[in-house]
Structure 1
Amino acid sequence: MARFLRSKVESSGDVPGSLVFIGNQKIEQTIIQVTTFNSTQFEELDIEEIRETQRFIASDTITWIRIYGLHDTAQLKTLGEIFQIHPLALEDILNTGQRPKFEEYDENLFIVLKMLRFDPESEIIQGDQLSIILGNNYLISFHEKPADIFHPVRERLRKHRGRIRECGADYLAYAMLDTVVDNYIIAIEAIGSNTEDLEEAVLTDPSQETLNQITNYKREINYLRKVIRPTRELVINLAKSDTNIFREQTLPFLKDLQDLVSQASEALDSYREMLSDQLNIYNTTVGNKLNEIMKVLTIFAAIFIPLTFIAGIYGTNFDYIPELRYKYSYFILWGIMIAVAGVMLRFFRRKGWM
């Protein structure tokens, strides 16, 4: 399935808000994990039934519910009823090709974006969708499959490092977004490092493999742009939002996150221009090599034209050619042909054509 646009054949014609899973099922069964915490308490548990999450709504702790696997639409519908999640938000959660965006609803906020990772073996950016429902004392995150990207955040919660246990669900949402953007920069740095390494190869040995690498990196850069540009809009809209769910003390962190996304976007544009320049240099270098080859072939063709003319005269079928019976005619002919070739080579060299 294409990374740039998911097929919506299955949901075509459905009523807006219909719960239809669009994407690839990446795990067999849905996994539900819950973390509850405050400054003095911390607990992690696994849940079998989605209705068990209802008891966390009125809890005096902050609750982080993680849903792994989006294919079970019945469970998502039940969760939406428990936490009053808007049907349009549920529809976007199930569409794994959803464009990154931020929406405000009466009871909660909805955030959707991509988590990215650079695979050094295939040199391809791998992406999974992350959706977040944020309330006053809870955060629900929806993942396509289990991943280690938020392991540092969970470790900070477990070990009570930093301010994350002292703050609310809004700061937890910021911490998650910050982790996602950090991985954007790591992916950009990986592609950027490989792009810079290509520069010497483009100038010295512009092979077909070099062209394939440039084309591959351009494709990955375009995919990154498709993800990061709307993510930048998302963070800007989030920082400008008047919602009460994001508290005043969290806003400076969102503005810092905005600068981080802008930095990622600018670096992306720089590497995109660099790849375009390398492609132009590649085409120019290959064109120059082709011109050198054609020049040599043209020189050889030009040399053999008069030689062919001379040989053609003595290959004609006349009965009387004065030189035919002369003892040294053959050697004289070779001398003339070598002299003509030598004069032409000297002429080409003086003209700077070879």
Structure 2
Amino acid sequence: MVKKIRRIPKVVKKLYRKDFYHEPGTLPGTIIIDENADYPTIYLIDYQPNKFIRKQVETPEECIPYLDTQSVSWVDVQGLGNKDILERLGKVFELHPLVLEDVVNMGERPKVEDYEDQLLIIARMVVPKERICGFYSEQVSFVLGKNYLLTVQEEPEHDCLENVRIRIERGKGIIRKQGADYLAYTLLDAIIDGFFPVLELYGDRLEELEEEVIFKPTRQTLQQIYQIRRELLQLRRAIWPQRDAISTLIRDRSELITEDVRIYLRDCYDHTVQVMDMVETYRELSSGLMDVYLSAVSNKMNEIMKLLTVVSSIFIPLTFVAGIYGMNFNTEKSPYNMPELNWYWGYPICLAVMAAIAAGLLFFFWRRGWLTNSSGIKSD
């Protein structure tokens, strides 16, 4: 029996909403179906240099006539909400039980596995959210055969592969002159390139937070920095094994991938390295912003404490003078006479002396530079 063992933390849950793992002792090849998953929709694209077919099929068995032809067939399954359809899909494509398990169960680490006449590729696709900093993340599985490519997506709503479909339909480039391995490369390249718009959003947001941290840091600023660091960590966890997977495709000599396509995969590998560099750079920037935030808050607190100390220092001598003249001792018969108590102008003179002391202290503090905001941080 397979069951959900634990809930994913709130931040991670937004990125990997269907991340499950098996109960210890579960049989290999067991399929986990999420009760909230979308019903599978199967799309078929079959093409040659002078031929193109794109349609939605109702059952997996409708794809059988296209699998043994010389044309390239791309079967795209969107949604994982029906176990029967997925098992029938495995029979149509003669998938190994472990392949079907990896394809259906979300949360797999990006990887490449060779099954002689089939090549399994697990990738993670990210799509930026509109108008806000963040992204949707889902697993995309590839099963590459001689003349066909099976892709399985977690959700149909978030997809960065539409441009590839348009290129095939309109015959742009050389994609319709190449085999299924070139189609797999094209889709992988589109998935890797999908990381750049997401990282661009994070770059813009980090610039805004940098100004906010320096001039007006708040508790919400710290929360946003922490959230960005967590999300950048998820991006790093997605792109790092993806780089290793593409490196495996280049290094291993699978018969399903030609030498010409391996050359293109090198460019895809370079893109993954660029994405990794950007992710690491933004993570360092976010860590630096957190240090700057803590320094800014500390400097702001120091300025407040300095202001309070100055005010206290001014009132200390004033309190001393007021305390002396507030004792009201009758000293007429005492050798320690306090004649100021009987002066006609004693009260205003005392106030004038206290004002002069306060002004003198303020002038002294100003000359020493203690009244200026040396940190340059504006207080609320």
The verdict on a shared fold, with TM-score over 0.5 as the criterion, is: yes
> What's the counterpart of residue 282 of structure 1?
293
In structure 1, distance between residues paired with 2:206 and 2:261 = 37
> What's the counterpart of residue 196 of structure 1?
207
> What's the counterpart of residue 272 of structure 1?
283
In structure 1, distance between residues paired with 2:83 and 2:195 = 29
Structure 1 residues 99 and 148, CA gap change in structure 2 (3 angstroms): closer
> What's the counterpart of residue 299 of structure 1?
310
> What's the counterpart of residue 378 of structure 2?
none
In structure 2, distance between residues paired with 1:120 and 1:34 = 29
Structure 1 residues 145 and 251, CA gap change in structure 2 (3 angstroms): same
SS of aligned partner of 2:121:
strand
- Alignment equivalent of 1:106, drawn from 112, 116, 136: 116
Shift of 1:12: 4.9
- Alignment equivalent of 2:269, drawn from 253, 258, 279: 258
1:19 matched to 2:31? The reply is yes
- Alignment equivalent of 2:175, drawn from 158, 161, 164: 164
For the 8 Å contact 1:33–1:65, the answer to whether it is kept is yes
How large is the RMSD of aligned CA atoms in angstroms?
A: 2.2
In structure 2, distance between residues paired with 1:309 and 1:12 = 77
> What's the counterpart of residue 238 of structure 1?
249
Shift of 1:35: 1.1
Deviations 1:132-153 (CA, angstroms, capped at 9, x unpaired):
1111111000012224421111
Comparing 42-51 with 251-260, greater Cα deviation is found at 42-51
Alignment of 1:76-115 (within 5 A): 76-115=86-125
1:335 matched to 2:352? The reply is yes
Deviations 1:289-346 (CA, angstroms, capped at 9, x unpaired):
2211211111001111221222223333644465433322212221222222223223
Shift of 1:47: 1.4
Determine what percentage of the aligned residue pairs are the same residue: 35
For the 8 Å contact 1:21–1:71, the answer to whether it is kept is yes
For the 8 Å contact 2:19–2:106, the answer to whether it is kept is no
For the 8 Å contact 1:25–1:69, the answer to whether it is kept is no
- The one-letter code sitting in structure 1 at the alignment partner of 2:203 is G
In structure 1, distance between residues paired with 2:167 and 2:85 = 29
Identify unmatched segments of 5+ residues in structure 2.
Answer: 1-7, 332-337, 372-380
Comparing 335-344 with 199-208, greater Cα deviation is found at 199-208
Shift of 1:52: 2.3
> What's the counterpart of residue 140 of structure 2?
130
Alignment of 1:55-70 (within 5 A): 55-70=65-80
In structure 2, distance between residues paired with 1:148 and 1:119 = 12
Shift of 1:253: 0.2
Shift of 1:109: 0.8
Shift of 1:242: 1.4
- Alignment equivalent of 1:349, drawn from 366, 374, 378: 366
1:53 matched to 2:63? The reply is yes
In structure 2, distance between residues paired with 1:157 and 1:46 = 16
- The one-letter code sitting in structure 2 at the alignment partner of 1:299 is V
In structure 2, distance between residues paired with 1:115 and 1:190 = 16
> What's the counterpart of residue 374 of structure 2?
none
Shift of 1:7: 5.1
Identify unmatched segments of 5+ residues in structure 1.
Answer: none
For the 8 Å contact 1:114–1:128, the answer to whether it is kept is yes
For the 8 Å contact 1:84–1:107, the answer to whether it is kept is no
In structure 2, distance between residues paired with 1:200 and 1:20 = 46
Comparing 91-100 with 135-144, greater Cα deviation is found at 91-100
- The one-letter code sitting in structure 1 at the alignment partner of 2:206 is T
How many positions carry a matched residue from both structures? 352
